């Protein structure tokens, strides 16, 4: 949901006539969104997302 809002804002506020720079959203999933949902896995989810970003950086244009 947050990524959808970010992409909509980016498109609505972009400068027309120029190429928008690319961007990527990496999310850390911390629960199953069920009745047992909690905050106990937020740090692990953040670490996993950071790890994915570190692995992708060499492939992203500067």
14 Cβ neighbours under 8 A, 6+ residues apart: 20
Per-residue pLDDT tens digits of the chain, which is 62 residues long: 778 888 888 778 777 777 666 778 898 888 887 888 888 889 999 999 999 999 999 998 87
- The pTM for the full model equals 0.68
CA atoms within 13 A on the CB side of 14: 13
- Burial string for 12-47 (b: 16+ CB within 10 Å, else e) reads eeeeeeeeeeeeeeeebebeeeeeeeeeeeeeeeee
């Amino acid at each position: 949901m947050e990524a959808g809002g970010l992409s909509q804002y980016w498109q609505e506020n972009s400068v027309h006539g120029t190429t928008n720079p690319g961007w990527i959203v990496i999310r850390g999933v911390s629960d199953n969104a069920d009745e047992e949902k909690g905050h106990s896995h937020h740090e692990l989810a953040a670490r996993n997302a950071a790890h994915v970003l570190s692995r992708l950086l060499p492939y992203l244009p500067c």
